[in-house]
Amino acid sequence: MRAFADLLERLAFTPQRNGKIAHLTQFFAATPDPERGLALAALTGDLGLKAVTPSLLRGLVAQKVDADLFAISYDFVGDLAETIALIWPPATSHTPTTLPDLVAELQQSPKSALPGLIAMRLDAMLPNERYAYLKLATGGLRVGLSARLARMAVAEFGALQVEEVEEIWHGLTPPYTDLFAWATGGPKPTSAAHAPFRPVMLSTATDLAALQSLPAADYTAEWKWDGIRVQATNDHGTRKLYSRTGEDISNAFPDLLAALNFDGTIDGELLVKRGDHIAPFGDLQKRLGRRTVSRKMLDSHPAHLRAYDLLVWQGADLRALPHTDRRSALDAAIATINHPQIDLSPLLPFQTWDDLATLRSAPPSDVIEGVMIKRRDSPYLAGRMKGPWFKWKRDPMVIDAVLLYAQRGHGKRSGFYSDFTFGVWDNGALVPVGKAYFGFTDAELKSLDRFVRNNTTETFGPVRALKPLQVVEVAFEGLNRSPRHKSGVAMRFPRISRIRDDKLAGDADQLQTLRDMLPD
């Protein structure tokens, strides 16, 4: 338990992804089975403990500590589990416990016995163990560890390809003993799951100059839709919808799951579609990340699958076939499925790259973010390799904005002000419209850092308010309406694309200019 508590603490204070992975790989190397696998499941939220309620914990601590003293302390600390972990009377004797034992007894204990069990364990633990134990029991570890990051850490630990780990992930269950056996030189686990996730083939960015050296006749092109890339599968009646990193998002899309009346695996784009109209990404976002979805939401934001590729059809794995053969099979499959919520991503007619450039410059929908280009003979391969698939995105939207606040970065950028909040004009005042922390070169970072230090008006902890002087060009991939932001808009992937020392703050854009860029 001590090792898990220490890991949890380090993860909680390590914002950088690589730092988190380093902590995890070191933990995996130093911790035996089944503890490391249970820890992994606890961190990714896959442990499935019945949650201990906050009121149970409040009841426990009320028996140990004066109510006023607890209230004053909780007010200062701000987190229930942490307050209890710190305020609990110290252990008279520290009994080492193991994560597997603690998990097992929490799973097996009847509800009525939980308070006694938890109190007994807290009595014999160190404060950071108590914290980890309470977070475990309440199911709220919240250390910012996605399942994706966990898989990357396992891959790093075992020197495996992350795509290979993703492929078998859904067939695995805690404590992942077979996974760790594989990572330490044993055999690769065979995926026992029905409807397994299959690693997605990804594209690399390109532009017209790079394309000109390639024979256009060897490639197909289609629109790149601004939804989320998914894999829809029906394996002998088991239906699944996966994101491109292998997250199971089936629960959020029961309407689309019901439409998967086939036996096979389709690669496509998940969109919200009303009649013939594809809705902007913001509408799809409302349906993401939900465990359940209301009837009303199903009616107002209906899910749709636009098919790009066919990986498996009626038991046959098509991935090794050339793209054109898979595409023919896909055409036939979609015709057979014949469902209004599933359609084909049409191929674009072009002879030369300049033809394609013309098409790209005037897409028929706002929800198209460029074109996808695929070599006709390409098999379906896992991961992102240079070619044979390319994305040629539409030019980003840009505005000129004024830097308003700056915050110091972490890791390699600690010591540098690298995270910026920028704003545009609205009725004569600057309103914040977004944050950006990349897009600039190292040299530009140094010059921005110098600007921040010389033009600070106020500091709030790690944040500095700036004189509104520095104009930057901000590039972004799209714009959504957002009631949560004061400006009413939220940018996607904003980054600082140019430093505009040639412009004065008064030359920066108006908020109305941004509003005019919103999709219908």
Task: List residues binding another protein (CB under 8 A).
Answer: 6, 10, 12-15, 19, 22, 26, 65-66, 68-70, 72-73, 76-79, 82-83, 86-87, 90, 127, 408, 410-412, 414-416, 449, 453, 461-462
- Output 92 or 213, the one with its CB closest to another protein: 92
Reduced to 3 states, what is the DSSP secondary structure of residue 233?
strand
Nearest distance from residue 220's CB to another protein, in Å? 44
Nearest distance from residue 47's CB to another protein, in Å? 22
- Output 143 or 181, the one with its CB closest to another protein: 143
- Output 290 or 412, the one with its CB closest to another protein: 412
Nearest distance from residue 449's CB to another protein, in Å? 8
Nearest distance from residue 336's CB to another protein, in Å? 54
Nearest distance from residue 66's CB to another protein, in Å? 6
Nearest distance from residue 119's CB to another protein, in Å? 17
- Tell me which DSSP letter residue 471 carries: E
Nearest distance from residue 71's CB to another protein, in Å? 10
- Output 416 or 467, the one with its CB closest to another protein: 416
CA–CA distance from 210 to each of 185, 385, 451 (Å)? 41, 16, 36
| CA 101 to chain centroid | 32
Alpha carbon distance 100, 32 (integer Å): 11
Alpha carbon distance 6, 367 (integer Å): 46
- Output 416 or 435, the one with its CB closest to another protein: 416
Number of Cα atoms under 13 Å in the Cβ half of residue 232 = 29
- Output 20 or 374, the one with its CB closest to another protein: 20
Q: Where are the alpha helices (DSSP H) in 301-352?
A: 323-337
Neighbour tally for 469: CB within 10 Å: 12
Characterize 491-515 residue by residue with b for buried, 16 or more Cβ atoms within 10 angstroms of its Cβ, and e for exposed: bbebbbbbbbeebebeebbebeebe
Alpha carbon distance 414, 393 (integer Å): 33
- SS3 string of 287-305? CCCCCCCCHHHHHHCCEEE
- Output 81 or 278, the one with its CB closest to another protein: 81
